[in-house]
Amino acid sequence: MPLYTWLRTATASVAVVLATATATTAHAAPAPTGEPATAGAAAVVTLRYDDSRAGGWEAAIAAGVASWNAHVDNVRLVEAAPGTRAEIVIVATTGWPQAQLGPVRPGRQVRVELGSQAVTQGYDKTRIAAHELGHSLGLPDTKPGPCSQLMSGSSAGTACLNAVPNATEQARVESFYANGAAARFAVDGRVLVDAP
């Protein structure tokens, strides 16, 4: 048998052996014990909020949190247990609502101020709370804007009661926290004041 033919045959044989060995030993890694294997399951980033200094805003905060939790999948807002550090500190103030721009990540911290001056002017408390939480999650203002944009804030007017992020706002937050990736983003930290 000529050397060239022998080398071609040997190379083909080795390739078949390797392919067979790989096919028989390759398999999906098992899920960790106690957790079901789910295809495409995304990592969820949990952010704690502390509203212990936001007296009078509890119902609005709870509704704002519920709105975000119902409309985004890979970040979850939960109330911090007493005495534990929270990523989002919420306080009631007498001025205009304002918040530090995120996206906040676990172990870091931003501050949200829910100002009574906006309520005095006729703005809805739940919309204010959901809007300010949106800043913590990384969304800037989109002023001027329609009521359908949560981040249009005060520019939508006092008649606007919408506390639900629209599809674009939801997608942006999802992208900030995709696959647990909040750690890749630095908190912007700018304070955004939501006065008209």
Beta-strand relationship, 191-193 and 98-100: antiparallel
Tokens matching residue 8: 């071609």
Whether 149 contacts 164, CB under 8 Å? no
DSSP state at residue 184: G
Number of H helices, E strands in the chain: 5, 6
Active site residue 132: yes
How far is it, in rounded angstroms, from Cα 20 to Cα 22?
Answer: 5
Q: What is the CA radius of gyration of the chain?
A: 25
Catalytic residue (choose from 87, 132, 169, 174) = 132
Query: Which active-site residues does the annotation give?
Result: 132
